[in-house]
Amino acid sequence: MNQLSDAWPAIALTLKLASLSSFLLLIIATPLAWWLSQTQSLWRKPIGALITLPLVLPPTVLGFYMLALLGPQGWVGQVTQSLGIGVLSFSFTGLLIGSLVFSLPFAVQPIQYAFEAIGKRPLEVAATLRASPIDTFFSVALPLAKPGLLTATVLSFAHTIGEFGVVLMIGGNIPGQTRVVSTQIFGYVESMAYDEAHMLSAGMLVFSFLVLLALGQLKSRSDKVLT
Amino acid sequence: MSHKQSLAIQLKLKRASFSIDLELDLPLDGITAVFGPSGSGKTSLLRCLAGLEHAQGYIRIGDQTWLDSGRHVSTPTWKREIGYVFQEASLFEHLNVRDNLYFGLKRVQQSHGSADLNEAVSLLGIEHLLGRSIQSLSGGERQRVAIARALATQPKLLLLDEPLASLDVAKRREVLPWLERLHDALKMPMVYVTHAMDEVARLADYVVLLEQGRVSACGPLTEVTCSRELALAIGEDAGVISTAIVVGRDEVHHLAQLLFGDAKLWVRDQGLVIGQTVRIRMLARDVSLTKTVQEDTTIQNHLPGVIESIDTFLHPAQAAVRVRCGREILIAHVTLRSLQRLELRPGSPIWCQVKSIALMI
């Protein structure tokens, strides 16, 4: 079972999971980051901390709670069962939910900083030029926060690819369904298939390096625009 | 002032560092300059008019109510028909000059939209900048684009917050004439916040003097420039600003003759046209008083008048003398001792000698 050919389904699944979750994260994180950057509500700090939690928590802790929630006895699990969806743990959907939560801070924070960096002035200018608040969000805030949105997408994509703990806890390493590159490497090592583990790990190393390089390039380009 | 044509304001605003408490009834034509030291609440007043700051009170423009806190009415900024020019040029960095100009225009439902834009563009002389990126513009060009962008929406009221303050002297000299052109070409009422007296002198028709959030003087330009409140606020720079008509010229000596009230004045000819109305400014420290008309002096401008009042609010040694010359008023700053030596008092006939007259064209 531990041939290098086993790696292809894992790579395909990893890419699918990463693209889907970074796409969904962009949709979820943008309004959340906008709210965090604009609100003066007392909830701002607690909710900000909650979103940041996955940054500091061991992934196994997060994975454990997700498992408990999504599993047959969990609140969410009971809801999904009663809706006829079934149990989400040990499924691709469960994996997707887990990685959305796990990568949320990596998407929210760059976008939030980008919105905060715009400042109040351009938004006030838009209002004096008859743009409604929603109009201002789409025609001024989003275009000006573009570097932040790009950073968020790249980071959450890369972070999803790199996750292990949550994936193992919630996905269970089922080949073709929830087995991704990181868990595949773990499997190779466990069965002493070091050559295969080397190949896949080297691939990850190169990939991560390229992502960081691209991110740096992106940053210097957006800096040039602002000065 | 008819009710329909005025901008009626009553505002109360409390902040940690200062407060505003004022009531104003401003004419809805020409330029109203809001003048005062920094921290007097000028910008806050403007932001309240725009709805960017929330205050208690009311704001009524013509027959529209923008704010009436008693009835919980407050029109949001984007629904007020205003144009706003911020202190530092605030163009959208992600759009080029043309798209910046169209930003407001696209959001106004008007058929004559692009005609208004063309007018604004040519009034500010920015035709050649339309395709440029914001980053490539100089400070003065940015501010001209910002003014045109605000004008293009044909606002009911144009608000300008020290539009020249962020520019250096050379750039100010570049932008100021464009503002004067707007003043001459447009009927649009403007509220112009500034702490620079020369901008007031050149642009204002109506002046509001603001001190610590309160109105200390308010009225037509000439009236306010004669007031003791303004003299106290600006000290050495105090002086009357008024208008005169060009009636003649001395080509040999490159001088032009102005009719100021009933009196004639000579000024340096700067290519004036006979019949033209010009703004003149006579600083109080450049006006001296004599009992009889002096012939053996280099000063050319002598105006007969009668002393209306003598004030010593500036310094115990110094008197601000208000002299009525026909229909016009002149202010002279002289020492109290020389007034006593000449036995001058209210009612005394007097000659004013004006050492220099600044022409504002």
Number of domains chain B is built from: 2
Chain B interface includes A169 (CB < 8 A): no
Same domain flag for B48 and B130: yes
DSSP A129-141: TT--HHHHIIIII
Cβ contact (<8 Å) for B77 and A127?
yes
Chain B interface includes A149 (CB < 8 A): no
CATH code for position B356 = 2.40.50.100
Q: What is the pLDDT of residues B151-196, one digit of tens each?
A: 988 899 999 999 998 888 888 888 888 888 888 888 889 999 999 9
| Closest A-chain CA to B105 | A129
Tell me: pLDDT of B361 over 80: no
Same domain flag for B257 and B217: no
Contacts across the A-B interface (CB distance below 8 Å): 61
CB contacts, 8 Å: B92 with chain A = 122, 125-126, 140, 144
**C-alpha torsion angle, residues A156, A157, A162, A166 (rounded to 10):** 60
Chain B interface includes A190 (CB < 8 A): no
| Closest A-chain CA to B158 | A128
**Domain A14-178 homologous superfamily, CATH:** MetI-like (1.10.3720.10)
- CA A92 to chain centroid: 15
Same domain flag for B58 and B176: yes
Among A130, A140, A221, the strongest candidate for a mutation testing the B interface, having the largest count of B CBs within 10 A, is A130
Tell me: pLDDT of B341 over 90: yes
Residue ranges of the domains in chain A? Answer: 14-178
Same domain flag for B205 and B347: no
Within chain A, residue ranges assigned H as helices are 7-38, 44-56, 59-70, 75-82, 92-118, 121-128, 133-136, 142-144, 146-162, 165-171, 181-190, 194-226
Cβ contact (<8 Å) for B78 and A122?
no
- CA B54 to chain centroid: 26
pLDDT at site A226: 46
B194 to chain A, closest Cα gap in Å:
20
Q: What is the pLDDT of residues B245-302, one digit of tens each?
A: 999 999 999 999 999 988 899 998 888 889 999 999 999 999 999 999 888 888 889 9
Among the partner-chain residues B82, B92, B104, the one whose CB lies closest to the CB of A122 is B92
Alpha-carbon distance of B145 to A127, in angstroms, equals 17
Same domain flag for B283 and B229: no
B236 to chain A, closest Cα gap in Å:
36
Same domain flag for B49 and B81: yes
Among the partner-chain residues B52, B93, B107, the one whose CB lies closest to the CB of A129 is B107
B108 to chain A, closest Cα gap in Å:
7
Q: What pairing do the DSSP bridges indicate for beta strands B82-85 and B157-161?
A: parallel
Same domain flag for B254 and B217: no
Q: Which amino acid is at B160?
A: L
Among the partner-chain residues B83, B93, B150, the one whose CB lies closest to the CB of A144 is B93
Same domain flag for B243 and B231: no
| Percent of chain B whose pLDDT exceeds 90 | 65
Same domain flag for B191 and B320: no
Mean per-residue pLDDT, B35-50: 93
Give B2's pLDDT tier (boundaries 50, 70, 90).
very low
CB contacts, 8 Å: A139 with chain B = 103
At which of B184, B213, B237 does a domain end? Answer: B237
The angle that helices B139-152 and B113-123 make with each other, rounded to 10 degrees, is: 150
Same domain flag for B50 and B183: yes
Chain B interface includes A72 (CB < 8 A): no
pLDDT in tens, chain A (227 residues): 456 777 888 889 999 999 999 999 999 999 999 999 999 999 999 999 999 999 899 988 988 998 899 988 888 889 988 988 888 888 899 999 999 999 999 999 999 999 999 999 999 999 999 999 999 999 999 999 998 999 999 999 989 988 888 888 888 888 888 888 888 898 899 889 999 999 999 998 998 889 888 888 877 776 655 43
At which of B177, B204, B237 does a domain end? Answer: B237
Q: What angle do CA A176, A72, A173 make, to 5 degrees?
A: 25
Same domain flag for B80 and B226: yes
A27 to chain B, closest Cα gap in Å:
22
A183 to chain B, closest Cα gap in Å:
43
Give B100's pLDDT tier (boundaries 50, 70, 90).
very high
For residue B234, what are the contacts with CB-CB under 8 A and spacing of at least 6?
B197
Among B93, B101, B116, B157, the strongest candidate for a mutation testing the A interface, having the largest count of A CBs within 10 A, is B93
CB contacts, 8 Å: B103 with chain A = 126, 129, 131, 139
**C-alpha torsion angle, residues A166, A169, A174, A180 (rounded to 10):** 20
Chain A interface includes B83 (CB < 8 A): yes
CB contacts, 8 Å: B84 with chain A = 124-125, 128
Helices (H) and strands (E) in chain B, counts: 9, 21
CB contacts, 8 Å: B93 with chain A = 144, 225-226
CATH code for position B92 = 3.40.50.300
Same domain flag for B217 and B266: no
CB contacts, 8 Å: A137 with chain B = none
Q: What pairing do the DSSP bridges indicate for beta strands B157-161 and B190-194?
A: parallel
Among the partner-chain residues B78, B90, B94, the one whose CB lies closest to the CB of A130 is B78
Quickly tell me which residue has 């997707």 as its tokens.
A96
Which region holds residue B326: left if phi is over 0, alpha if psi is between -120 and 50, else beta?
left
pTM value is 0.86
Tell me: pLDDT of B1 over 50: no
CB contacts, 8 Å: B52 with chain A = 124, 127-128
Q: Which amino acid is at B272?
A: L
pLDDT at site B113: 62
Domain of B337 in residue numbering reads as: 239-360
Which range has the worst mean pLDDT, A213-217, B62-66, B214-218?
A213-217
Question: 3-state SS string over B41-104?
Answer: CHHHHHHHHHCCCCCEEEEEECCEEEEEHHHCEECCHHHCCEEEECCCCCCCCCCEHHHHHHHH
Cβ contact (<8 Å) for B78 and A140?
no
B51, B74 contact by CB (below 8 A): yes
First to last CA, chain A: 56
Q: Which amino acid is at B171?
A: K
B84, B159 contact by CB (below 8 A): yes
CB contacts, 8 Å: B107 with chain A = 129-131, 135
Q: What angle do CA B120, B126, B130 make, to 5 degrees?
A: 100
DSSP A167-206: HHHHH---TTTT--HHHHHHHHHHTT-HHHHHHHHHHHHH
Q: Which amino acid is at B129?
A: L
